[in-house]
Amino acid sequence: NISFKLAPGETLALVGPSGTGKTTITKLLMRFYDPSDGEILINNIDIREYTQESLRHHMGVVMQDVALFNDTIEENLQLVRTDATSADIRAAAKQAHADVFIQKLGEKYKTMVGERGVKLSGGEKQRVAIARAILKQPQLIILDEATSALDSESEQHVQAGLGELMQDRTAVVIAHRLSTIMSADQILVMQNGKVVERGTHDALAAKKTGLYAN
C-alpha cells in the first residue's frame, strides 16, 4: 500500500527503521523483481514494458557498499561509459571531489584499487562511485545509505560530490542522516512496509508527536 509520484528533477527521500521496505522500493525501480500487486509507471508506461538494460542505462546508483573491481581507478570509472576520454573521467572525478585524493596516489588514475577497492578508504571509494555516476550522466539517481559509513570529514567531501551529481536530476535517496535529506522535495516516512508520514523536512519536523520528529 505504498503510493507516490516523483516529478522530473525532484528528490524523494525514504526514511524509517531498518527492514521497513526502503531498499525494496529501489530494487523494484531497478527491476531486480517486479511488483506482485499494483504498478510502477515511468513516463506513464509500465516499468515491465522496459527491458532491464534500457531501464538501468538511465540510472546511476551509489550504495553504501561500493562495487569496485581489482583494476585501476580509470578502468573502474570507465565501466559505465567505454567511450569516455581521460578528460571526461577527470572532469567527473573533479565534480565528485575525488580528483583531490587521486592526484596524491603514486600512479594517479592508473592506481590499482585492489579487490573490492581494499586499497581505498570508505570515503575515497564513495567518491569514486559518485564520479562513476556523474560520468554516466543518468536521468534517475538512486542513493542507498551512501554516506552512513563515513566519518564527518569524509562525509563533507562526499556530500559535496552528491550535490553535484543530483543537480537538475531526479533522485531517490535512502538515508538515516538528516544532512542528506533536509533539502528533499518530498520525504516519505516508512514503518512496517507502509508510508506513515509524508512532507518536507520542515513540515515533518514541526509535528510534535511524529515518527520523523522523534
pLDDT value of position 18:
84
How far is residue 115's CA from residue 2's CA, in Å, rounded to a whole number?
38
- Whether this model's pTM surpasses 0.85: no
Buried (b) or exposed (e) across 191-209, using 16+ Cβ within 10 A? eeeebebebebeebeeeee
pLDDT value of position 150:
63
49: phi then psi, degrees, rounded to nearest 5: -80, -20
How far is residue 205's CA from residue 66's CA, in Å, rounded to a whole number?
31
Per-residue pLDDT of the chain (214 residues; tens, 9 = 90+): 789 999 998 999 999 888 888 888 989 999 998 988 899 999 899 999 999 889 988 888 888 777 888 888 898 888 888 888 889 899 888 888 888 888 888 888 888 887 777 788 877 888 888 888 888 888 898 888 766 656 677 677 767 777 777 778 898 998 767 777 888 899 999 998 899 999 999 999 898 888 888 8
Max distance between CA atoms of the chain, in angstroms, equals 54
